[in-house]
Amino acid sequence: MPTIGGSVIQNARRVPNREAIVAGDQRWTWREVDLSAARMAGALHAAGLGKGDRFGIVSGNTPGFLIASFAASRLGAIVVPINTRLAVPEIEHILADSGCGIVVASAEHLPRVEAASRFSEHLKVATLGPSGELPDLLDAVVPPPPVDEDRASESDDAFIVYTSGTTGSPKGVLLDHHRAVWAAMAQIVSLGLRDGDRYLHLPPLYHSGGVVFLNAITLLGGTNILIPEFDAGAVLEVVERERVAALLGVPTMYQFLLRHPDIDNRDLSSWRVGAFGAAPMPSTAIEAMLSKLPQVRFFQQCGQTEAGPTGLYSTVEQVRAEPDSSGHLAQPFVEARIVDSDGREVGPGSIGELELRGEPIMKGYWGNPEATAATLHDGWLRTGDLFHVSANGSMKLVDRLKDVIITGGRNVYSAEVEQALSRHPDIIDCAVIGRPHPDWGATVLAVITPRAGAGITADLVREHCRALLADYKIPREIVLGPIPRNAAGKVRKSVLREQFERATDPTNTPGS
């Protein structure tokens, strides 16, 4: 079975002149990508990076991200993609927890990375592109000899992708090359991706959804088309100009595409596969997608980072017949079951927790055997997601044990936000929930109890959070009041959700 870095080398031999990366005016063939990755691998090796070492990447959807990831992979190093929107303390935690020896950043993210790396005098920082005195790993002239061979094997660890847990502390999901390849194969088979497909990356590459589709397109020798950020008009223009065949988007993205006036004026005939997931899609939006884009085969996905990410999906026909379902089938190479609290499978009409088993399931949480033992049992992954099972076998997500808030397709864990709020000296109690929003799925709402006599305001609270949290995690609504708790002292979030169940004004949108 190929490794991720080895697939790049194979592509350079099999389809050397096929485009591998398109980013605006920049175009790279697979031969050029292989040469650049070999040079960068040589520089990283000279800097001390080797098999099993962790290599952090803080970059948006840029060619540099791909080259850096491919270079580290062929050395047998473990790639640690880091969310570009994290605050300095959050980046520092991931660098320290993963034990990164080298971290590379694009210029716009370099100041936060440098600040976050000061905890260790041994952590090396480099750049993707020229930036002052730091080494530029994209420099075409690299003195060390290039690394032309793949030094990784199928069983070597490949990625640590961080995801927040129920306590709010980020945990690193560990995947070896075997698991990464099988997760990519699950996407290829379930969606019908083809050799040489031109794929438009919309989710960030640091996200598990970005990683798995980068790997899938690499295995297929396809073309990775990159745009710096989501803009509905730009997406439609790129799909037409670059003859995009496939993309994955969160429901919010699809709704903005449907509303854009250019959707009826662009030639989108090349677009064959449209996957969506990460949040529920309104049935009205699915109906509009099927009407406006009849040539696109739409697939629904409901997965988890700990599963590669893989999980459940619905075929084109199932999406059309039951748009309200979260999934009908386990993806290829994955088993799924819905179980009660005693681990027994539930029947139709019942609600239980989704468990997954198969080739793509994570090895475990990096450096966290306790969390691993609590999540993996007898080969099964406890997802913490509750599903209702219908008579025909379709499954619908009804709740999340992890109290996740999904806003614009991004996960925000209430416990993490509550921890940040509790660090404010004038806040004596707080609770965070998601409030429904017609475009974004949900917005983050915080109920806080201030210290008596404190002159606390919503702006002051947000300013406090800005230094601790990524912008999309900062509460958009802040309500002053008591926190409902039960006799055991636990927050009764069901009461808060009932109180704030009305959707917010569509103009109150999260930061992009």
First to last CA, the chain: 39
185 and 106, same domain (yes or no) = no
The pTM for the full model equals 0.84
Domain check: are 394 and 426 in the same one? no
Q: Say if 461 falls within a structural domain.
A: yes
Distance set, CA 172 to CA 241, 253, 362 (Å): 38, 27, 10
Whether residue 168 lies inside any domain: the answer is no
Distance CA 178, CA 157 (A): 9
Peptide bond into 450 cis (omega under 30): no
Does 62 reside within a domain?
Answer: yes
In this structure, the answer to whether residues 350 and 486 fall within a common structural domain is no
Report yes or no on 167 lying in a domain: no
Do you know the residue count of the chain? 512
Tokens 């997406």 locate to 235
Predicted confidence at residue 507, as pLDDT, reads 45
The answer to whether residues 30 and 8 touch, using CB atoms and an 8 Å cutoff, is: yes
pLDDT at res. 487: 46
The number of folded domains in the chain is: 3
272 in the same domain as 396: yes
The answer to whether residues 265 and 394 belong to one domain is: yes
Same domain, yes or no: 411 and 395: no
Q: Which residue blocks in 192-250 are alpha helix, DSSP H?
A: 208-219, 232-241
Cβ 504 vs Cβ 436: under 8 Å: yes
Residues 295 and 328 both lie in one domain = yes
Q: Are strands 395-400 and 380-389 parallel, antiparallel or unpaired?
A: antiparallel
Phi, psi of 466 (to 5 degrees): -60, -30
> For the chain (length 512 residues), average pLDDT per consecutive 10?
94 98 97 96 94 97 97 98 92 96 95 94 90 76 82 97 65 97 98 98 93 98 96 97 96 88 95 87 83 94 94 93 88 96 90 95 97 95 90 80 80 82 88 90 93 87 94 94 70 84 54 38
Q: What is the CATH number of the domain that holds 8?
A: 3.40.50.980
Instruction: Say if 125 falls within a structural domain.
Output: yes
- Which of 142, 152, 148 minimizes the C-alpha distance to 55? 152
The verdict on residue 368 lying in a domain is no
Instruction: State whether 385 and 427 are in the same domain.
Output: no
Residues 229 and 270 in one domain: yes
Tell me: do 129 and 49 sit in the same domain: yes
b/e map of 36-63 (b: 16 or more CB within 10 Å)? bbbbbbbbbbeeebeeebbbbbbbbbbb
Residue 452's pLDDT is: 83
CATH number at residue 425: 3.30.300.30
Vertex 301, ends 296 and 303: CA angle to 5°? 155
- The residue range of the domain holding 492 is 404-499
Whether residue 226 sits in one domain with residue 208? yes
Give the tokens for residue 324: 């309200």
Euclidean distance between CA atoms 305 and 184, whole angstroms: 13
State how far the alpha carbon of 349 is from the alpha carbons of 145, 258, 337, 509, in Å: 63, 34, 14, 36
Distance between CA 373 and CA 368 in Å, rounded? 9
Looking at residue 418, what DSSP letter applies? Answer: H
Q: What are the φ/ψ torsions at residue 385 (nearest 5 degrees)?
A: -105, 135
Shared domain check, 111 and 4:
yes
CATH number of the structural domain spanning residue 242? 3.40.50.12780
Tokens of 48: 């001390």
Is 160 contained in some domain? no
Q: What is the maximal distance between C-alpha atoms in the chain?
A: 71
Alpha-carbon radius of gyration of the chain: 23
Query: Is residue 141 in some structural domain?
Result: yes
